[in-house]
Structures are given as structure tokens and as C-alpha cells.
């Protein structure tokens, strides 16, 4: 039995497909459209999922989407009566609801040659239920508190409940307009980072400041005695005005979320091209501190209520890896799982899993759960594909001074690449299936030497072309984590920031943040054997059991197709490109030109 799950008409549109309750494919639409955070109907992702499943659109019997226009109507009406939002805002909301309701017709229009079977059902799953399911039902836990926190979805910004076995309850919510995600987004805009998804820049900037503005943040967000939170709405526009949102067939765009009152409190908003001053760094740190204060107040109350030590987190706010890394220190929880696509893209898997639990199974009340131990659910390519590409591009490669070698033996390939990394070279590493979620996890990665103090500057200046304060992450052999980090845990999806052991920090300056932390990814031999083998070889050469890992891209979505990897390699100053067993090395004089 197949279930197709969708995140549509929102940022990071995506599709995932389950077979008998097990994930077999999942991918974000941006990887095909080449537009970051692409929003709309993910038709290319749907086609990919159907191809992996070996079925056609007309074969589907169950489609799930992580939006339900029928929920929380009472809260919506109460909000209208209390706040009298503009007619333009009401019309915009109604238009989106109408589009969601007509999903079946829209899908049929996108696949005109094979309309849905008359018996096929389109299931609308509440946004936060889909988030909760994407974490708990993918987790290894038989019992866990499940929490979702994001900007907004189906008129709620947070939800929580209890997962037991295959069942998952939703026991509480924080409703619109109060939202930790909107707080973080509005303050991100105030700091001069205007694009959808720029919140991670605030997280990267925060360690360079001090929380001197925490008192002001506590005026903006008010933590309640029950652990929930409320916004002082004087500082926000989203609840009353028609803030422009664009979710159709392109890059998402969000209008200004804050009011002039915020500028009275914090001073004039920084324009995106203005220099970053220490005051901005301090405000970034204060934003992060307020976010953590509110999040951990909620977690404290939920642990007290449920008396369970396992936690799963989801929603866009679960992408805050700095806060995630403090869960064990600042809350009573002792076990944590966060799915690789914790944000809205993950709703595709979550909504499909909710529906799968309602379908008959001979051994249980629903299809079996799927513990997602890895994130490799996207497209993959063969050695023949790589050979064809390199042959077709042979003239360009010769002009770029490139030499191609073939390593049929993975051990020899890893030896060669580990040696190149140890020599300070920058590697484009393309293997296996594309990662699901925003992080490159060793299949579409740019790799470097974490021991080099100048590696961060080299990558930022020559390849990534991004802000100098943004950090890079280490991919670490799982078995070596206790020796290098103060916290020992599985972090396969790069979702937690832990403190490095103080004596180890000088050895790996390229992946050590200014506050002594690192956003690690743990790498296991059973989930990514060739990446583990590469890092193991680097460990044998250098005594350091990790490599610097950043996403294989240059201000674009992570590369999906080998052609995109080759184009990125040629237009940047990367030294080596690895496509499967093929190693493309640029002559050093050309690489530095």
C-alpha cells in the first residue's frame, strides 16, 4: 500500500512516499527547480516519488497533505472578533484555504493524462499533527513527548502531545497570533536579513554577542506560568494587517512582520547592506537567548506533566540546532530525536505517516512505523551516468586543467580523497542518494580540513560566497564523539550544537565556533559506509576523526544532479570533484587562478 505525502503551498514544498508504512523516497521541490525554499505544488518531487515506487499517479489510492482547512474554526472566528484584521488579510487567508480544498482538482490538472482513481482519497492532516508525526513516528522511541514549534500552520504555532507505540495524541496548542517562529523571523528581518529562511544567520551571529537586550526581548515575548508564550502584539503586523506572503511557484517571500514600535524599542532596523555592529551581534544573542528561555519553559512544563524522559522535536523552530544542543542541560529530558527535515518539508512524511496509521495491517491497527536512521531518500545516479557526463564535458574539463582518474575500489578512492583533504584541498563530494532535509550529510557535500585555521575563510571567499561569521560543521565518526565533545549522543542530521572539549578546540579551528561549540554530524558505518570510510582514513592520516562538511552549493539549493555538481565545481575554486568513483582534480595553478 502506497501513501504519497505532500507539503504544498508553503516554503520548502516537498513530497514523500511510503510503501507499507516505510519511507522509500522523499525530496524537496527546490532540488529540481533550483530555487531556494521553492513554494507551490511539488510536481517534480511527486514524479520522482512515483518513479521510485514504480507506480503512476493514477495508481495512487491515498494522498496526504499537511494542511487541514477545517480545523480551529472557533479560534479563527474569535481572532477576527478580537482583532478586526483588515479585509485584505481575511481574503488572502480564504484564498489559500480555497486552494487547499481544491487540491484534487489541481493535482489532476498537473497530471492530465492519468487522473486520480475514483477510489483515491485526498487526506488533509492538521499541520502540527503532521509535524508531530514526522518526528515521533520516525523516532526509535516506543514512548515520547512530542513537540512542534514553528511560525504558523492551521492557525496554531505550537502543539504537543504523547506518542505511545503507534498512537500519537495532540493535547495542547499555542494559537495564532502568538508564535515563537514569527518572533524569530520578525527580529531576523530587523537585523537586516530579509529573505525567507534567513533565521539561521541570526543563530550563526549570536555567539559573537552578549545578551544585553534580553530585558527588551522579554517585553516582546512573555513566558506564561503554564510554560506557553504570548507575543506583545504591539510589535507585530501579522495578526492585523495583510503582510505580503508569496507561496506560489517560486521563492517564498514574506513582507515586513514588525511595526514601528519595535524600532522604538530597539532602534532603527539595520538595512541589509549596512555593516554589522556589536550592537547587532548583542541583539542576535538576545534573540537566541529569549527563544531558548521560552522553549525550555515549555519543555520543563511538559516533562513535569508527562513524566517521560524521551522527547521528539519538529517544526521550523526545531531547526535551531543551538537550542537543540542544550536540551539535556536545560531541560529534564534525557533522550532526543529530531528528523532530518524538521521544518515544513518534513510535513510530507508526517502527513503520510498519519494516514498510514489508519490503513489496515495484518499485524497491527496501522502500517508499521519507520525509524528514520538516515536521510538518504533522494535521487541517485550510476557510474555510467558519471562517465557519460564527464565524456560530454571533456573539452571544458581539459580547458580547466582537470585530470580524471577512476577508482573502482572505494578504499583507494577514500585514500586519495583523505590525502587531498589533509593537504588543504577543497573537495566536492557526490555519492549515493541525495539527502532529505536542508543539511548536506555526506552525499552532496563540500569537504575540507578542520585543522586549518584559514579553511573557513577559504570556503567563504572562494566557494560559498557568504557572510564571514557563518560557521561550518564537522562530520565526526560516531565512535569518536565522546573524546571530542562534552556531550555524547547520536546526531546524524546535524541538528544539535555541542560544546567541544576545551583541549581539542585548538586542533580543529575551522569547525569550532567562537563560543567553543560545534554543530556536529555523527557518521556511522552502517548508514553511510563510504563516508565513514573516508573520515576513518583521514583520522588515520591526521589523528583527527572528522572532516569539515558544508553543503555542495554556491548560493543555490544543494546540488541534485551530477551536472549541477560539475557546474559548481567549474565556476568556483574547488580543487577536486568526486562523482562516485571518478576523481576530477584541477591543476593547482588553475585552481588558484
- Residue 199 to residue 173: CA distance in whole angstroms: 23
Each residue's pLDDT tens digit, 278-301: 999 999 999 999 999 999 999 999
Instruction: Please give the chain's pLDDT, 593 residues, in tens.
Output: 999 999 999 899 999 999 999 999 999 999 999 999 999 999 999 999 999 999 999 999 999 999 998 876 556 555 555 655 666 655 555 555 555 558 899 999 999 988 899 999 999 999 999 999 999 999 999 999 999 999 999 999 999 999 999 999 999 999 999 999 999 999 999 999 999 999 999 999 999 999 999 999 999 999 999 999 999 999 999 988 878 777 778 888 899 999 999 999 999 999 988 999 999 999 999 999 999 999 999 999 999 999 999 999 999 999 999 999 999 999 999 999 999 999 999 999 999 999 999 987 634 456 788 999 999 999 999 999 999 999 999 999 999 999 999 999 999 999 999 999 999 999 999 999 999 999 999 999 999 999 999 998 889 877 867 777 777 999 999 999 999 999 999 999 999 999 999 999 999 999 999 999 999 999 999 999 999 999 999 999 999 999 999 999 998 999 999 999 999 999 998 999 999 999 999 986 644 43
Angle at CA of residue 234, ends 229 and 240, nearest 5°: 95
What DSSP string runs through 181-247?
A: HHHHHHHHHHTT--STTTHHHHHHHGGGS--TTHHHHHHHEEE-TTS-EEE-GGGB-TTTS---EE-
Kindly give the interhelix angle for 383-392 and 562-571, rounded to the nearest 10 degrees. Answer: 40
Residue 234 gets which letter from DSSP? G
Amino acid 82: pLDDT: 62
Coil/strand/helix, residue 545 = coil
pTM assigned to the model = 0.94
Amino acid 121: pLDDT: 96
Q: Are 66 and 127 in contact (CB under 8 A)?
A: yes
Q: Are 389 and 563 in contact (CB under 8 A)?
A: yes
Amino acid 362: pLDDT: 39
Q: What is the dihedral of CA 520, 525, 526, 530, to 10 degrees?
A: 100
Peptide bond into 53 cis (omega under 30): no
Amino acid 86: pLDDT: 66
Coil/strand/helix, residue 455 = helix
Sign of CA dihedral 442, 445, 448, 454: negative
Each residue's pLDDT tens digit, 190-200: 999 999 999 99
User: Which grid coordinates belong to 255?
Assistant: 513582507
Q: Would you give the end-to-end CA distance of the chain in angstroms?
A: 55
User: What are the E-state strand segments in 399-461?
Assistant: 402-406, 427-430, 444-448
- Residue 156: which of 185, 135, 184, 128 has the closest Cα? 128
Amino acid 196: pLDDT: 94
Which residues have a Cβ under 8 Å from the Cβ of 110 and sit 6 or more positions away? 41, 43, 46
Strand pairing partners for 28? 14
- Residue 280 to residue 272: CA distance in whole angstroms: 12
CA 112 to chain centre: 32
| 165: alpha, beta or left? (left if phi > 0; alpha if psi -120 to 50) | left
Sign of CA dihedral 552, 558, 560, 561: negative
Residue entry with cell 492532516: 125
- Residue 150 to residue 352: CA distance in whole angstroms: 20
- Residue 233 to residue 240: CA distance in whole angstroms: 9
The upper half-sphere exposure of residue 19, i.e. CA atoms within 13 Å in the direction of its Cβ, equals 11
User: Which grid coordinates belong to 228?
Assistant: 506557553
Amino acid at each position: 500500500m502506497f501513501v504519497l505525502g505532500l507539503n504544498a503551498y508553503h516554503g520548502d514544498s516537498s513530497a514523500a512516499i511510503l510503501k507499507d508504512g516505510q519511507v522509500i523516497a522523499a525530496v524537496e521541490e527546490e532540488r529540481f527547480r533550483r530555487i531556494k525554499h521553492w513554494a507551490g505544488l511539488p510536481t517534480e518531487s511527486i514524479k520522482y516519488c512515483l518513479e521510485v515506487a514504480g507506480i503512476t499517479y493514477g495508481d495512487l489510492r491515498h494522498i496526504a497533505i499537511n494542511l487541514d482547512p477545517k480545523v480551529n474554526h472557533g479560534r479563527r472566528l474569535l481572532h477576527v472578533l478580537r482583532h478586526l484584521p483588515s479585509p485584505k488579510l481575511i481574503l488572502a487567508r480564504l484564498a489559500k484555504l480555497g486552494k487547499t480544498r481544491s487540491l484534487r482538482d489541481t493535482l489532476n490538472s498537473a497530471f492530465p493524462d492519468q487522473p486520480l482513481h475514483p477510489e483515491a482519497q485526498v487526506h488533509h492532516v492538521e499541520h502540527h499533527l503532521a509535524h508531530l508525526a514526522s518526528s515521533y513516528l520516525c523516532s526509535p522511541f516506543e514512548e515520547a513527548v512530542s513537540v512542534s514549534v514553528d511560525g504558523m500552520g492551521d492557525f496554531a504555532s505550537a502543539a504537543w502531545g504523547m506518542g505511545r507505540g503507534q498512537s500519537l495524541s495532540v493535547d495542547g496548542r499555542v494559537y495564532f497570533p502568538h508564535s515563537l517562529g514569527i518572533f524569530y523571523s520578525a527580529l531576523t528581518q530587523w537585523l537586516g536579513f530579509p529573505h525567507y529562511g534567513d533565521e539561521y544567520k541570526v543563530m550563526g551571529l549570536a555567539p559573537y554577542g552578549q545578551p544585553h537586550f534580553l530585558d527588551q526581548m522579554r517585553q516582546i515575548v512573555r513566558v506564561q506560568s503554564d510554560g506557553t508564550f504570548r507575543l506583545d502584539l504591539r510589535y507585530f503586523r501579522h495578526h492585523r494587517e495583510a503582510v505580503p506572503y508569496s507561496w506560489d511557484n517560486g521563492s517564498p517571500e514574506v513582507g515586513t512582520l514588525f511595526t514601528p514600535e519595535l524600532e522604538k524599542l530597539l532602534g532603527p532596523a539595520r538595512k541589509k547592506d549596512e555593516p554589522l555592529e556589536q550592537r547587532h551581534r548583542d541583539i542576535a544573542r538576545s534573540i537566541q537567548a529569549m527563544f531558548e528561555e521560552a522553549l525550555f519553559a515549555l519543555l520543563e512544563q511538559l516533562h513535569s506533566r508527562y513524566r517521560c524522559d524521551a522527547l521528539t522535536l519538529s517544526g521550523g523552530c526545531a531547526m535551531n540546532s543551538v537550542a537543540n544542543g542544550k536540551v539535556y542541560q536545560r531541560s529534564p529530558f534525557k533522550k532526543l530525536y529530531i528528523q532530518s527535515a524538521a521544518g515544513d518539508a518534513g510535513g510530507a512524511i508526517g502527513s503520510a505517516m498519519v494516514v498510514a496509521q489508519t490503513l489496515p495491517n495484518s499485524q497491527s491497527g496501522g502500517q508499521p512505523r519507520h525509524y528514520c536512521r538516515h536521510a538518504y531518500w533522494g535521487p541517485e545516479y550510476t557510474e555510467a551516468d558519471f562517465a557519460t557526463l564527464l565524456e560530454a564535458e571533456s573539452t571544458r574539463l581539459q580547458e580547466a586543467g582537470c585530470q580524471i582518474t577512476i577508482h573502482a575500489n572505494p578504499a583507494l578512492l577514500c585514500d586519495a580523497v583523505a590525502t587531498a583533504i589533509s593537504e588543504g584541498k577543497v573537495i566536492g563530494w557526490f555519492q549515493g542518494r541525495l539527502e532529505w532535509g536542508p543539511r548536506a550529510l555526506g552525499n552532496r557535500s563540500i569537504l575540507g580540513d578542520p585543522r586549518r585555521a584559514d579553511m573557513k575563510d577559504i570556503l567563504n571567499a572562494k566557494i560559498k560566497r557568504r557572510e564571514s561569521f557563518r560557521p561550518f560543521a564537522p562530520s565526526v565518526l560516531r565512535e569518536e564523539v565522546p573524546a571530542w565533545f562534552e556531550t555524547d549522543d547520536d546526531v546524524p542530521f546535524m541538528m544539535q550544537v555541542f560544546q567541544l572539549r576545551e583541549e581539542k578546540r585548538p586542533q580543529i579551528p575551522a569547525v569550532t565556533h567562537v563560543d567553543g561549540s560545534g554543530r556536529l554530524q555523527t557518521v556511522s558505518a552502517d548508514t553511510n559506509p563510504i563516508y565513514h570510510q573516508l573520515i576513518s582514513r583521514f583520522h588515520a592520516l591526521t589523528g583527527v576523526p572528522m572532516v569539515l562538511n558544508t553543503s555542495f552549493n554556491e548560493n543555490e539549493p544543494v546540488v541534485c544532479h551530477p551536472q549541477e555538481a560539475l557546474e559548481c565545481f567549474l565556476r568556483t575554486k574547488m580543487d577536486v570533484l568526486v562523482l562516485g568513483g571518478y576523481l576530477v582534480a584541477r591543476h593547482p595553478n588553475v585552481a588558484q587562478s
